[in-house]
Amino acid sequence: MRLTMHKTQSQQQLAVKLHYAQKHGRGLLGWEHRRLLIHAAKTALAAALCWWLAIHFGLHDGYWGAISAIIVLQSNFGATITASRDRLLGTLIGALFGFSFSLFGALPWNYILAVLSSVTLCGLLGFRSSSRLAGVTVTIIMLVQTVGSHWTIALDRVGQVVLGIVVALAVSTLVFPDRARLRLRDGLAQEFLVLGALFEAILQGFRGEPAEDLATLRENALAALRSNNQLLEAARNEPSGGPGWREGLGMLAQFGRSIFDALAALEFAVKDSHNDRYAQQLEPALGRLAVDIRTGFHYVAGCTHNWRFHMPPPGLNLEEDIAQLEARMAAVRPTGFQFSQAEILRAYAVQLHLKQIARLLRAARVETSSAIGEARA
């Protein structure tokens, strides 16, 4: 079957993969170590600033501000905002219930009811990530023996948390800022390249030569999907980076998940195939579509990396490839009696999934271009 790729194109794709890997630190210890050191330095700076401010303004137990800054300061700005929101809400709810339940009843029942109520309220309001922080705040207010009333302790606790959050947000914004949306954009570009490599490995099985690294590529694709989903949640909390950023990033992430599902179906469809003669009758249309799909993965990755989607890929028309394949299938359909039913069904399933993947790739480019408001070329 003509499902091979020109050597020059393979080399170009490999070069692009290495370019993305070098730029975004996937698998490169040097860049990851640098990012780790930057995050550690920013965390130490935020903690030290909180401690210094607490001493300068005479705040009691100033270490709570430093603890809050350490907890909420994340590797990117969006994740820092998310962690700050969760900590502030948990602290406010915990302080409210801790002070309220300290006014009546005796330990341990009022304490137990305060923790139960605060955690339950967080869950009912949809703030599950804040529930543990609320319980911790209740514990500090009601059980830690310090000078002053429970009301004073509650206010001091909230003030320290607010201080830590403000300092963490300032450091995250001003010192080596790392935006989740930018990391997500390039993570999605890498994801499309990984999905393209998985696609090529699956088609090797259709040629009767199962790829040895198929399982590894599948795990890499899943890891990329999970990582980008986390970045997407963080990016949604960041200030907009331009028209349609959130919509475009969310759309590309959704297309990536849909393409992965289509690849899983394709992998199942080619199972037990070995030089199917009926599929060979679909050449050259079947092979042309497969080659152009590979090119499509590469092109969408480049569009995502450059954040430019309005230019159609030169010399690549997936809809035309699909039409030619359908015409070829109609032409060979009368010869189906010469082949086994398993071969025919497998060929139909493969061409169906190839068409689905091709249309998803085209839609990923076209609909993202529309979402971010690009003018048509």
Q: How far apart are CA 43 and CA 88, in angstroms?
A: 18
In this prediction, residue 59 carries a pLDDT of 75
In this prediction, residue 196 carries a pLDDT of 94
DSSP class of residue 333 equals G
DSSP class of residue 145 equals -
Phi, psi for residue 52 in degrees, rounded to 5: -65, -45
Query: Going from the N-terminus, what domains does the chain have, and what CATH number goes with each?
Result: 29-174 (no CATH), 180-371 (1.20.58)
In this prediction, residue 279 carries a pLDDT of 82
Contact 309, 374 (CB under 8 A): yes
pTM for this model (two decimals): 0.73
**Three-class SS of residue 190?**
helix
Start-end of H helices in the chain: 7-24, 29-56, 63-72, 77-101, 109-124, 128-143, 150-174, 180-206, 214-235, 245-269, 277-280, 285-306, 318-332, 341-371
Contact 320, 259 (CB under 8 A): no
Contact 38, 152 (CB under 8 A): no
Q: What b-and-e string marks burial along 205-235, b requiring 16 or more CB atoms within 10 Å of the CB? A: bbbeeebeeeeebbebbeebbebbeebbebb
Q: Which positions of the chain have pLDDT values less than 50?
A: 1-15, 18, 20-29, 377
| Rg, the chain, Cα only | 28
In this prediction, residue 376 carries a pLDDT of 54
Contact 232, 249 (CB under 8 A): yes
Q: How far apart are CA 368 and CA 8, in angstroms?
A: 29
Query: Could you tell me which of 55, 56, 86 has the C-alpha nearest to residue 161?
Result: 86
Phi, psi for residue 142 in degrees, rounded to 5: -95, -25
In this prediction, residue 304 carries a pLDDT of 93
Residue type, 264: A
Burial class (CB in 10 A: 0-12, 13-18, 19+), 185: buried
Q: How far apart are CA 51 and CA 61, in angstroms?
A: 9
Q: How far apart are CA 340 and CA 206, in angstroms?
A: 16
Q: How far is CA 368 from the centre of its chain?
A: 17
Contact 90, 113 (CB under 8 A): no
Q: In sequence order, what are the residues at sequence separation of 6 or more whose Cβ sits closer than 8 angstroms to the Cβ of residue 154? A: 95, 96, 98, 99, 141
Specify the residue for token string 């330990």.
Answer: 107
Q: How far apart are CA 283 and CA 296, in angstroms?
A: 20
